[in-house]
Amino acid sequence: QKEVEQNSGPLSVPEGAIASLNCTYSDRGSQSFFWYRQYSGKSPELIMFIYSNGDKEDGRFTAQLNKASQYVSLLIRDSQPSDSATYLCAVSRYSTLTFGKGTMLLVSP
Amino acid sequence: IAGITQAPTSQILAAGRRMTLRCTQDMRHNAMYWYRQDLGLGLRLIHYSNTAGTTGKGEVPDGYSVSRANTDDFPLTLASAVPSQTSVYFCASSRDRYSSYNEQFFGPGTRLTVL
């Protein structure tokens, strides 16, 4: 059974701080890793993907991957109240995408 | 249209009734998917299609059927709805399914309540 684990939260951070969201996965053969943002009542929106060990930066977002530790994280710099949402980690091996249950992030003004 | 559309947005349905949820994409993606999302259980794959004319079962296929007559459309049918099928249903698509680098994009969802 492939598993993707996330802390359900909520993770509360003040505006302007760095939010760190973490995800672990069980399938050592996983090849690609995705972060989706989901606002309440809305659909998941792809915000980052990473395929290789290390960091990948896109604006205020940085995805970090450590395949040896089976760990992927998402850092959000200069957090804004508009970043308040649930963040879903998803892991893929070949064609199957497995989602974690998500971490709720609350950014307070 | 830009992306994926789903219809209806929401529906209340009596148990035992037949219901088809519609999904259309205009990105010319080969692969399409149906997920359900339930509180505490996350997103679970119901059915998928690698390309027009082919379909496959996901994690929770029982009680659901799909068809893929063309590239753009991927309807999901509940033959005889039951209350446990109350959920939010998301359609998604990706360029192809065989590659691991298959970023999936989601439609706006259908909120279904079965009474």
pLDDT at A94: 74
Stretch among A8-22, A44-58, A95-109, B95-109 having the lowest mean pLDDT? B95-109
pLDDT top residue among B97 and A27: A27
* pLDDT tens-digit map of A7-22: 988 999 999 999 999 9
A window 2-61, beta carbon within 8 A of B: 31-32, 34, 36, 42-46, 49, 51
Distance (Å) from the alpha carbon of A20 to chain B's nearest alpha carbon = 21
Could you say which of A51, A90, A100 has the minimum Cβ distance to residue B101? A51
B103 contact residues in A (CB cutoff 8 A): 34, 46, 49
Write B45-48 long-range contacts (CB < 8 A, 24+): B45/A96, B45/A97, B46/B76, B46/B89, B47/B76, B48/B97
Residue located via tokens 């010319």: B28
Q: Is the pLDDT of residue B40 over 90?
A: no
Contact A9, A105 (CB under 8 A): yes
Please state, rounded to an integer, the average pLDDT across all residues of chain B. 94
CB contact under 8 A, B43 and A44: yes
* The pairing of beta strand B10-13 with beta strand B110-114: parallel
* pLDDT tens-digit map of A15-54: 999 999 999 999 998 989 999 999 999 999 999 999 999 9
